[in-house]
Structure 1
Amino acid sequence: MSTPFDRRAFLRASTAAAALAAVPFTGAAAHAAATSSNANTAGPNCGPNPDRALDEAADAIIRRIRRPRIPRRDFPVTRFGAVADGATDNTAAIAAAVAAASRFGGGRVVIPAGPTGTASYATGPIHLKSRVELHVETGATLLFSTDPNAYLPAVFTRWQGIECYNYSPLIYAYGQTDIAITGGGVLDGQASTANWWAWKSLETPDFNQLVAQADAGVPVAQRIYGAGFHLPPTFVEPYNCQRVLIQGVTFRNSPFWHLHPTLSSEVTIEGVTVNSTGPNTDGCDPECCDGVLIDGVTFDVGDDCIAIKSGRNTDGRRVNVPSQNIVIQNCSFAAGHGGVTIGSEMTGGVKNVYGRDLTMNSPILQSGHRLKTNSVRGGYIENSNIYRVTAGQIGGPVLLIDFNYGEGNTGTFPPTVTGITLKHWTVNTAVAGWTAAGYSTDHIGSILLDDVTITTMTGKNSSQYVDDFQLVDVTINGQPVTTP
């Protein structure tokens, strides 16, 4: 089993990363940042950019996120015995290619499309090492095993914000630097109601046991799950890693959350497609991360599209590392519980979130910006800014702040939620503009809605226990709204 990392070392690394000077980068993120910076300058026929301060803060975060440094040296898995017949188990061949790339100081482990331009490779878990890039060529597909035993022995991971040993994620890296998953190919977890997703009805007793262990202070090394339990693994989990790139590929049908960078820094997720209808198949859940760029990603999932997290309850207070400095831009959100979500595992805190130039459209997208917490979670959400959003249909409120999620107000750790800003939203149809409710003894702090238009609202707005709720240029059903 892996050994839990040195959290003090992680915090030192995160602080150092935040202090780095600007580093040039290339690709879609560079283009987006340049476009945003140019927009800060007034043109001959327009005034100054009203979002200049927000854009500058987001651009500053992007400049501090360096990309992996990986040698341009290729290690095609077919050289190591991989067979592209969609049935042969290529786990060992891919592992051999990763090991060889690592021995030579790094390189690309290539999943080739082959002479016909299409190829499928069956595999079990893939564990990446420093300076190694998994490159899935356009036309190539990785088909991941649905046999739980393939993902043993158990590795050090988290399950819904609590540390434990569990089935290996489908793609896993622990304590590595400079890693990447790139290409135009497909990574298919093959989860369905015939395998992993059937565990949804079985997971509760196992998770309750894990919660009880964390509450009782049972050491992580003794929280052993995997064989005999029903806590499905995530798809991609770089844990305690620095400089991570996930670019271009398509993920579908994960057993659980798709992209789960955890306690990692300088993470770029760019031009990716995430598609699944299964339970708990969140699109991207950065947890306790510092410096994350999610750029040009398309989400159509069975749970939250993006859910920013930072640990859960007792275990989250023990680890006590926030998620911070996160930029989400140029993304498209279809089905899901929330577009940009924070929580509910937010015990370590979340701050400095910037989401810009986004599109949302689905009758089953349950909310646009969703913040979910309770007095068992505790923690804080501060300075979340979601702006320049175009939405066709949202099947719930544009803004949802829910202090009664999960266990509700049954704990002794009242959360702090303040500094929530939505600007320049154009929504065709939504059930409500906002549903926001704090506690009578623990109010939501400040909310600002500025230049928000909802052409058709089918339900009612509601707010309770909010100290400072400002509406500026808000129009609903063709009428200006000035009070919440």
Structure 2
Amino acid sequence: MKITLVRAMTRSAVFELINHSCYRAPAPYTVQLNGKTVLSGDTNVFSLFSLQPDTEYTLTVSDGSESAELHFATVPESFFVDAARYGLVADGETDNTAKLQAALSTCPKGGTVYVPAGVYRTQSLFLHSDTTLYLEKGCTLLGGTRREDYPILPGVLRDADEQKECYLGLWEGNPLDCFAGLINIINEANVTITGEGTLDGNAQNGDWYRNPKERRIAWRPRMFFTSHAQNVVLHGVKVCNSYSWTIHPTYTDNVDILDIRIRNSSTSPNTDGIDPESCKNVNIIGDHVHVGDDCIALKSGKVFMGMNCHVPCENVTIRNCCLSRGHGGLVIGSEMSGGVKNVTVTQCLMDHTDRGLRVKTRRGRGKYAVIDGLVFRNVIMDGVLTPFVINMFYFCDPDGRGDYVQSHEPQPVDEMTPTLGSLEMEDVTATDAQYAGCWFSGLPEQPIERVSMHNVTIDFAKDARPGQAAMMCGANASCKLGVWAENVRTVELHNVKIEGYEGERLQLTHVENFEED
């Protein structure tokens, strides 16, 4: 048995068992801290809370047959700020926004704002550099239900000379006025949110889900939003009932999203779990995501943001996560005009999502819309309707069903043409698939460069029902379709087993190079 420290904070820490299993540990285990049993667990990632700052600890993990020991130390803390001293009222009704904001705004550098157990009604809160927000077990920050009480983040800010623009509010890849999130980190650095408490948007009790694609005053808020920040950590908490996308860091470097639980109703509209947008160096480790849309979606804006900023989402690690019930496990796009590069997904469990790996783009995303360097390794999919979908004809946006996007005749390659590079899938097992095993659709004028699969097994459910594998015009409902590939330069299938398919195992059109063994 081996164990590593993922990250230590002032009063909490997160750890990871080193093995080859997906999300869950090979056997249940117990955790001792300085010789005292403090935790029993069965997942590869676990956390400890209520630690003391600047303190050395000895951790021992045992599963009955073997054990591992680790020494670690927590981070120093300058001040402990008990938010209750600012007059909080924990009745779930009283508006605590100003009091919580006062605690956050007056916390000295290096300090921790501590919120004790209780239910605190609040609207948008803004965190500052070099501080920690610690939510105690039993603490809930409960979102207010009146949209008029939330501040608006302007989509575009102009400088004094009106020569430069700053893009702040973002809605589905465009700079548009949005309500601020429940938790906001903007132009700040070295900020941590941790603890065993809950961030509850309470959106089901407001009007956020009524006509969700309609702008009313401003576009819907996120639960957790960052913009032009650095070194941000979100750890341990439960996040639920989001207004729209749940965790939405944008234009932020060094983001750690560790051992959190996201719970949104399966019927809640556009409540993606974790959506990093134009971020760099992102670690998504040990999270359990159950949502009403995509579980994890990597984005980089629509064409305006892509052409003006061309900041990719890059260097993303996703490991030991459980992704359940959403539209997709890992999704790239469709707002990806700045590009998505260098993404590694390992040891994840995808549980009854509509699709497993889903890449979606379209003509019009622009020349910076390059997806490359995707590695998808050691993943289990259970009950995923279509394990792999790569679709360059995604019919999003008002013009998405028009000829420009949907034509299968070659179009001119110009500054509006997106690119898909190399995608690798290795050591993947998918059981009880239904619509298709793999659906790869590139553009005739810009084929997918390379799809490489090693040691992949896909097994169809005996009672599978038909459905549309890829959201594109002309993709008729299918059932137990093996591999569909069109407009791909190279397809490599090495030890790829597809069981229970119907019809032809491989349906390849305009595939330049095909290898199988």
Specify if TM > 0.5: yes
Shift of 1:25: 4.5
Q: Which of 250, 254, 266 is the equivalent residue of 2:254?
A: 266
- What does 1:93-104 correspond to in 2, within 5 Å? 93-101=99-107, 104=108
1:366 Cα deviation from its structure 2 partner: 1.3
Paired residue type of 1:94: L
2:400 is the alignment partner of 1:410: no
* 1:118-145 CA distance string (max 9 Å, x none): x111111110000122211111111011
Partner of 1:14: none
1:79 aligns with 2:85: yes
- Check whether the contact 2:247–2:275 (CA below 8 A) recurs between aligned residues: yes
Q: How far off is 1:31 after superposition?
A: 3.3
Q: Distance in 2 between matches of 1:249 and 1:160?
A: 25
Deviation for aligned residue 1:429? 1.1
SS in structure 2 of the partner of residue 410 of structure 1: helix
Tell me if 1:31 matches 2:16: yes
Aligned-residue CA RMSD (Å): 2.3
How many angstroms does 1:72 deviate by? 5.2
Q: TM-score, normalised by structure 1?
A: 0.77
Which structure shows the higher helix fraction? Answer: 1
Residue number in structure 2 paired with 1:433: 437
- Aligned residue number for residue 135 of structure 1: 134
Conserved 8 A contact 1:70-1:107: no
5 Å-filtered alignment, 1:325-340, equals 325-340=315-330
Would you say the 8 A contact 2:245–2:275 is kept in 1? yes
Partner of 1:456: 460
- CA shift, 1:35, in A, is 5.2
1:186 pairs with 174, 189, 198, which one?
198
How far, CA to CA, are the matches of 1:311 and 1:335 in structure 2? 25
Mapped contact 2:7–2:13 kept (Cα < 8 A) = no
CA distance in 2, matches of 1:24, 1:202: 41
Higher mean displacement: 166-175 or 122-131: 166-175
Q: Distance in 1 between matches of 2:243 and 2:170?
A: 14
Cα distance in structure 2, aligned partners of 1:307 and 1:268:
15
Task: State the SS of the aligned residue for 1:404.
Answer: coil
Summarize the Cα distance change of 1:263–1:201 in structure 2 as closer, same or farther, 3 Å threshold.
closer
Aligned equivalents of 2:282 and 2:338: distance in 1?
Answer: 16
Contact 1:70 1:178 survives alignment (8 Å):
no
Q: Alpha-carbon deviation of 1:30?
A: 5.9
User: Does residue 92 in structure 1 map to residue 98 in structure 2?
Assistant: yes
| 1:304–1:338 CA contact under 8 A, matched in 2 | yes
Q: 1:319: how far off? A: 1.2
Quick one: distance in 2 between partners of 1:141 and 1:248? 13
1:297 aligns with 2:287: yes
Distance 1:254 1:328 in 2: 22
Checking the alignment, whether the CA contact within 8 Å between 2:6 and 2:14 is kept in structure 1 is: no
User: Identity of counterpart residues, as a percentage?
Assistant: 32
Offset at 1:482?
A: 8.0
CA distance in 1, matches of 2:213, 2:342: 36
Kindly indicate whether the alpha-carbon contact (under 8 Å) linking 2:87 and 2:99 is maintained by their aligned counterparts in 1.
yes
Shift of 1:70: 7.3
Query: Structure 1 residues 157 and 141 mapped into 2: Cα distance closer, same or farther (>3 Å)?
Result: same
Partners of 1:328 and 1:427 in 2: how far apart?
Answer: 18
* Distance in structure 1 (CA, Å) of the matches to 2:143 and 2:499: 48
Read off the aligned partner of 1:141 and give its amino acid letter. T
Matches within 5 A, 1:228-267: 228-267=216-255
CA drift at 1:446: 0.3
Aligned to 2:512: none
Name the SS of the counterpart of 1:336 in structure 2. coil
Distance 1:327 1:142, change over 3 A: same
**Can you list the C-alpha shifts for 1:439-476, whole angstroms capped at 9, x where unaligned?**
22221110011111122254213111111111111111
CA contact 1:29–1:295 (8 Å) conserved in 2: no
SS, match of residue 196 in structure 1: coil
Structure 1 residues 448 and 193: CA distance shift in structure 2, 3 A: farther
Deviation at 1:316, TM superposition (A): 2.0
Where 2:95 maps in the other structure, the secondary structure is: coil
* Structure 2 contact 145–206 (Cα < 8 Å) conserved: no
Count of matched residue pairs: 396
Which residue pairs with 2:297 in the alignment? 307
Q: Does 1:109 align with 2:109?
A: no
**AA matched with 2:308:** R
State the match for 1:348 in structure 2. Answer: 338
Q: How far apart are the structure 1 equivalents of 2:448 and 2:192?
A: 39
Partner of 1:148: 147
- Corresponding position of 1:218: none
Higher strand share: 2
Deviations 1:90-121 (A, max 9, x none): 001101101110xx2231111101xxxxx111
In the alignment, does 2:357 pair up with 1:369? yes
**Which residue number in structure 1 is paired with residue 424 of structure 2?**
421
- Conserved? CA contact 1:474–1:481, under 8 Å: no
**3-state SS in 2 of match to 1:88:** strand
Please give the alpha-carbon distance, in whole angstroms, between the structure 2 residues aligned to 1:230 and 1:416: 33
> Structure 2 length normalisation: TM-score?
0.73
Change (3 A) 1:69 1:326: farther
Task: Show the counterpart of 1:221.
Answer: none
Contact 1:199 1:231 in 2 (8 A): no
Whole-angstrom CA distance in 2 between matches of 1:87 and 1:201: 29
Mapped partners of 1:321, 1:69: distance in 2: 32
> Considering only CA atoms, is the larger Rg found in Structure 1 or Structure 2?
2
1:70·1:133 contact (CA, 8 Å) conserved in 2? no
Report how far residue 315 of structure 1 moved. 2.6
Residue 310 (structure 2) aligns with: 320
- Give the C-alpha shift of residue 230 in structure 1: 4.9
Higher mean C-alpha displacement, 120-129 vs 69-78 = 69-78
Q: Which runs of 5+ in 1 are unaligned?
A: 1-22, 37-67, 114-118, 204-227
- How far apart are the structure 1 equivalents of 2:13 and 2:344? 17
Shift of 1:259: 0.5
Given residue 128 of structure 1, which amino acid in structure 2 is its aligned partner?
A: L
**Distance verdict in 2 for CA 1:394–1:75, change over 3 Å:** same
Which has the larger displacement, 276-285 or 411-420? 411-420
5+ residue gaps, structure 2: 21-73, 155-167, 406-413, 465-479, 509-517
Spell out structure 1 runs of 4+ moving beyond 4 A: 23-30, 478-484
2:92 alignment partner, SS class: coil
